[in-house]
Amino acid sequence: MTVLVTGARGNIGSRVVTGLHAAGRQVRATARDLATLSVPEGVQTARLDLTEDDVAADNPTAFAEALKDVDTVFLYATRTTAAPFLKAAHAAGVRHIVFLSSPASYEAAEFRGPIGRIHRAAEQDLAASGLDHTILYPSWLATNARRDWGAAIRARKPVELPYPAAQCVPIHPDDVAEVAVDLLLPDNATHRGRMQVLTGPASMRLDEAVAAIGAGLGRPIPVREISREAALARREPWMAAEILESLLDSAAAAVGRPAPITNTVERITGHPARPLSTWVAENRTDF
Ligand SMILES: NC(=O)c1ccc[n+]([C@@H]2O[C@H](COP(=O)([O-])OP(=O)(O)OC[C@H]3O[C@@H](n4cnc5c(N)ncnc54)[C@H](OP(=O)(O)O)[C@@H]3O)[C@@H](O)[C@H]2O)c1
């Protein structure tokens, strides 16, 4: 049987594909545009858009080809309902889904915001689907540092932070993917069927995370505190305004509050969660 990986081009999805393949699983890697996807030899590929129009019309056959012979799925959240895909997965005989959710789904600051709503809606769809599922709640992905600060650091400009004292727990994407792979392997049911809150090893302020990147690069990176209004005015076009508002709400609520730390990564993978410095050392050329 086959594991279907949605978002196989993503930071975590790509690692899940590699990990499952290395573990000897038959993998079907999917993306909305297959031309953008590169996978290890032996990995199958299929085009899959969870939000296609015919899918919105609740046409379960739309996914039948991608789901052929699939018993397990790694699922990303999207902005629309996951119900049609889950209905098709049920019909195709899928037995277990690992869903990449977000703590925004339950944390007070983002609960009512768009990130919370999107992830909670998918969790509700999963609960209603009748499929066995495990929900992953990773903390602040280390890849956020590249997404949000990479351009400034590369240009040797200050990193602008509206809430430099907000605390986060950076988690290495390899740790999230390793946990997902463990849960997706056959007959490996120990940790399945519930919520898994995954964090890195240490809570730190956002300006301390910037300093950790500077330490890894061997040069200090200046930080400039900016107002919330300035952050909103500098929004990148790819980030929706309501998403940025929600992220700012979350950061504001995390000022001076150490973020919770769990031992889930170590419990499931057998090794401690990787520190931010490991991710920085592996990704120096991105900065
Ligand atoms: N940022 C954080 O700190 C944080 C914390 C907790 C949880 N999370 C969760 O983790 C996610 C980010 O993970 P990441 O860095 O691995 O993401 P990423 O690199 O941005 O990749 C996202 C993937 O989602 C896929 N996708 C998007 N819309 C789709 C659709 N309609 N149909 C099928 N696939 C679709 C994309 O597929 P294509 O290749 O087809 O574009 C892409 O591969 C967030 O979206 C959130 O759900 C994030």
**CB of 250 closer than 6 angstroms to any ligand 1 atom:** no
User: Which residue from 39, 76, 85, 147 has its CB within 8 A of the most atoms of ligand 1, so it is best to mutate?
Assistant: 76
DSSP label of 224: E
Encoded tokens for 66? 């991608």
In this predicted model, what pLDDT tens digit does every residue of 246-264 receive, in sequence order?
999 999 999 999 999 999 9
Single-letter residue type at 68: K
Q: Are 148 and 238 in contact (CB under 8 A)?
A: no
> What CA–CA distance (Å, rounded) separates 117 from 105?
7
Q: Are 182 and 191 in contact (CB under 8 A)?
A: yes
pLDDT band at residue 52 under the 50/70/90 scheme: confident
Largest CA distance in the chain: 55
Q: Is the CB of 76 under 6 A from ligand 1?
A: yes
How far does the centroid of ligand 1 lie from the alpha carbon of residue 219, in Å? 31
| C-beta of 105 in contact with ligand 1 (< 6 A) | no
Tell me if residue 229 falls in helix, strand or coil.
helix
Residue among 33, 280, 47 nearest 173 (CA): 280
pLDDT at 132 over 80: yes
What is the average pLDDT across 141-146? 98
pLDDT of residue 59: 63
For the chain, domains (ranges, CATH) are 2-139+173-198 (3.40.50.720), 143-168+201-259+274-286 (3.90.25.10)
Mean pLDDT confidence for 73-97:
94
Would the pLDDT of 58 be above 90?
no
- Cα angle value 93/17/276 (rounded, 5°): 130
Q: Is the pLDDT of residue 205 over 60?
A: yes
pLDDT at 42: 96
The mean pLDDT of 190-206, rounded to a whole number, is 96
pLDDT digit string, tens, across residues 273-285: 999 999 999 999 9
Q: Percent of the chain at pLDDT above 70?
A: 97
What is the residue with the minimal CA distance to atom 21 of ligand 1? 10
pLDDT over 70 at 5, yes or no: yes
Whether the CB of 9 sits within 6 Å of ligand 1: yes
Select the more confidently predicted residue: 63 or 18. Answer: 18
Confidence band (pLDDT; 50, 70, 90) for 54? low
Dihedral angle, C-alpha 202, 206, 211, 215, nearest 10 °: 40
Residues 196-212 as b/e (b if ≥16 CB within 10 A, e otherwise) read bbbbbbbbbbbbbbbbb
Residue 15 to residue 127: CA distance in whole angstroms: 26
Residue 60 has pLDDT above 60, yes or no: no
How many residues can be counted in the chain? Answer: 287
Q: Find, among 195, 172, 169, 170, the residue nearest to 183 by Cα.
A: 195
Rounded CA separation 287/284 (Å): 6
The H-assigned helical ranges of the chain are: 11-22, 53-56, 64-67, 83-92, 108-111, 114-129, 143-154, 173-184, 206-217, 228-233, 241-253, 264-269, 276-282
Residue with tokens 């949605």: 6
Measure the CA angle with vertex 33, ends 10 and 87; round to 5°.
80
Instruction: Check pLDDT > 70 for residue 164.
Output: yes
39: confidence class by pLDDT, cuts 50, 70, 90? very high
- The predicted model gives 231-250 an average pLDDT of 94
What separation in angstroms does the CA of 253 have from each of 137, 165, 168, 204, 279? 18, 10, 11, 14, 26
In the chain, % of residues over pLDDT 90: 90
